[in-house]
């Protein structure tokens, strides 16, 4: 039988690219590359089937503040039709509802950031009354300079915020329970003191930061030219911009920038989304939460200082239910109750809706008792809308 010997020559390599294969099928000739004609657009890569193109409407509605902006536009349209001739949109009317919105907007900003981090502070309203009393009693009864009393009140507010945060992060107790306890502790004293407004106006620091209005010369000049309404003696009906509006704008802009353009803002979203996962990747969860509790206390202190300088008195119940109003404004602004999602811009528009409705309803023939009904309805609608947004975000992930 004849034996077949294997071929000792190595096998020829297979073509490894299109050029070699083309040479084999083209008789060994090099492939011909045809350049695109002059002026032709460059070739586009194939579309990725995993990517989905969203319309402009869906991108806009996916923003947390979209519902509050739409709600604010709707509120303005309703009152423009029902109270256009009542003076609501005159300069003094605008200042009235803008001032109410500004007071709420200050504390709503702090509540919004804390809610994005997944926590609540129900002691916010009591903190307003407590720090107001702390700043008013020493100057009135012991002759302490107003600015020193205000600094002492700030130190107390930050300390209470620090204690709230430490209790929450170290014990694991819900912030709802911890801050509810401080709500009753700080609300124990119901004393009312008056006369602090005059002392604050005479104090250079307190007067510069919290008392009076801003841009008075501009309003006086506009009144002399007949551009705004004036009194019989020639003074403008609106003397200037209340400083609470300036504080609201400053806190809202600074907080929004911090939330959306800094690493600390990313930490806030991460902590609210999943605190354990955030901790595993190096986010200082405890420091973020404690600092936000302290910032909320700072916002309450700002509210109280502006209020005692404006009203001229202090009372422990001045911030009654402000914690719930701040939460409502944040929720209307698109902040989820579960944390991890929200917007300072939305909370700002939520506070604006609150102020416009509260003051605007007095310019109409509608009973003012319907204001609370409106707030409850707005809260329910906002929660339902935010729940749908959360489902969409979860499905997208």
What share of the chain has pLDDT > 70, as a percent? 82
Those residues whose C-beta lies under 8 Å from the C-beta of residue 259, and which sit 6 or more positions away, are 113, 116, 265, 268, 343, 344
Residue 360 lies in a domain: yes
Higher-confidence residue of 302 and 373: namely 302
The whole-number pLDDT of residue 109 equals 97
CB-based burial label for 137 (10 Å; 0-12, 13-18, 19+) = middle
Residue 12 lies in a domain: no
Higher-confidence residue of 59 and 309: namely 309
- pLDDT tens for each residue of 285-294: 999 999 999 9
184 DSSP 8-state letter? H
Q: If you average pLDDT over residues 273-301, what whole number do you get?
A: 95
Mean pLDDT (the chain, rounded): 85
Residue 289 lies in a domain: yes
The whole-number pLDDT of residue 243 equals 95
Q: If you average pLDDT over residues 331-345, what whole number do you get?
A: 90
360 closest CA partner among 101, 59, 2 = 101
CA distance 186 to 317: 10
Higher-confidence residue of 319 and 31: namely 319
The whole-number pLDDT of residue 62 equals 65
Q: Is the confidence at residue 61, as pLDDT, over 80?
A: no
Number of structural domains, the chain? 1
The whole-number pLDDT of residue 232 equals 82
Q: Is the confidence at residue 327, as pLDDT, over 80?
A: yes
Residue 374 lies in a domain: yes
| Contact (Cβ atoms closer than 8 angstroms) between residue 31 and residue 19 | yes
Q: If you average pLDDT over residues 359-369, what whole number do you get?
A: 82
Residue 1 lies in a domain: no
Sign of CA dihedral 285, 286, 287, 291: positive
- pLDDT tens for each residue of 144-169: 999 999 999 999 999 999 999 999 99
Domain range for 352 is 65-396
| Contact (Cβ atoms closer than 8 angstroms) between residue 291 and residue 98 | no
Three-class SS of residue 214?
strand
CATH code, domain carrying 367? 1.10.3470
Q: Is the confidence at residue 86, as pLDDT, over 60?
A: yes
Higher-confidence residue of 40 and 238: namely 238
Those residues whose C-beta lies under 8 Å from the C-beta of residue 229, and which sit 6 or more positions away, are 90, 91, 92, 223, 236, 237, 238
Q: If you average pLDDT over residues 99-114, what whole number do you get?
A: 96
- pLDDT tens for each residue of 44-58: 666 555 556 666 656
Three-class SS of residue 192?
strand
The whole-number pLDDT of residue 1 equals 47
The whole-number pLDDT of residue 54 equals 60
Question: Across-strand partners of 313?
Answer: 194
164 closest CA partner among 188, 181, 148 = 181
Question: Across-strand partners of 214?
Answer: 241
Residue 30 lies in a domain: no
Residue 31 lies in a domain: no
Q: If you average pLDDT over residues 196-220, what whole number do you get?
A: 92
CA distance 228 to 219: 8
Q: Is the confidence at residue 258, as pLDDT, over 50?
A: yes
CA distance 246 to 106: 10
Q: Is the confidence at residue 116, as pLDDT, over 60?
A: yes
Q: If you average pLDDT over residues 312-321, what whole number do you get?
A: 88
132 closest CA partner among 203, 180, 186 = 186
| Contact (Cβ atoms closer than 8 angstroms) between residue 352 and residue 79 | no
Q: If you average pLDDT over residues 260-274, what whole number do you get?
A: 94
The whole-number pLDDT of residue 60 equals 62
CA distance 296 to 111: 6
Residue 17 lies in a domain: no
Please provide residue 145's backbone torsions phi and psi, each rounded to the nearest 5 degrees. Answer: -55, 145
Per DSSP (E only), the strands in the chain are: 192-194, 213-214, 241-242, 313-315
């Amino acid at each position: 039988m004849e034996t077949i010997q294997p071929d000792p020559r190595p096998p020829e390599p297979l073509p490894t690219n299109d050029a070699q294969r083309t040479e084999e099928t083209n008789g060994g000739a090099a492939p011909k590359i045809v350049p695109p004609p002059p002026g032709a657009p460059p070739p586009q890569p194939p579309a990725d089937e995993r990517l989905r193109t969203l319309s402009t409407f869906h991108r806009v509605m996916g923003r947390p503040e979209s519902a509050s902006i739409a709600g604010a536009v709707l509120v303005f349209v309703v009152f423009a039709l029902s109270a256009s001739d009542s003076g609501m949109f005159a300069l003094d009317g605008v200042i009235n509802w803008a001032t109410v919105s500004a007071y709420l907007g200050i504390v709503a900003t702090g509540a919004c950031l804390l809610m994005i981090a997944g926590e609540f502070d129900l002691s916010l309203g009591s903190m307003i009354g407590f720090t107001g009393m702390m700043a008013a009693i020493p100057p009135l009864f012991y002759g302490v300079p107003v600015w020193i009393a205000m600094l002492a009140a700030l130190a107390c507010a930050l300390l209470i915020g620090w204690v709230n945060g430490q209790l929450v992060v170290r014990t694991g107790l819900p912030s709802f329970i911890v801050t509810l306890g401080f709500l009753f502790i700080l609300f124990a004293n119901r004393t009312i003191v008056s006369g602090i407004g005059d002392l604050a106006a005479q104090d250079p620091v307190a007067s510069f930061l919290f008392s009076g209005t801003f841009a008075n010369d501009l309003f006086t000049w506009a009144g002399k030219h007949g551009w705004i309404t004036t009194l019989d003696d020639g003074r403008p009906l609106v003397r200037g911009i209340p400083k609470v509006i300036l504080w609201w704008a400053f806190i809202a802009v600074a907080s929004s920038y911090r939330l959306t353009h800094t690493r600390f803002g990313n930490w806030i979203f991460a902590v609210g989304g999943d605190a354990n996962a955030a901790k595993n990747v190096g986010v200082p969860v405890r420091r973020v939460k404690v600092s936000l509790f302290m910032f909320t206390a700072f916002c309450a202190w700002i509210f109280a200082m502006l209020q005692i300088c404006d009203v001229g008195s202090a009372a422990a119940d001045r911030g009654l239910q402000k914690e719930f109003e701040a939460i409502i404004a944040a929720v209307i602004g698109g902040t989820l109750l579960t944390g991890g999602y929200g917007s300072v811009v939305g909370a700002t528009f939520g506070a604006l809706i609150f102020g416009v409705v509260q003051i605007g309803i007095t310019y109409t023939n509608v009973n003012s008792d319907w204001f609370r009904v409106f707030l409850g309805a707005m809260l329910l609608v906002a929660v339902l809308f935010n729940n749908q947004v959360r489902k969409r975000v979860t499905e997208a992930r």
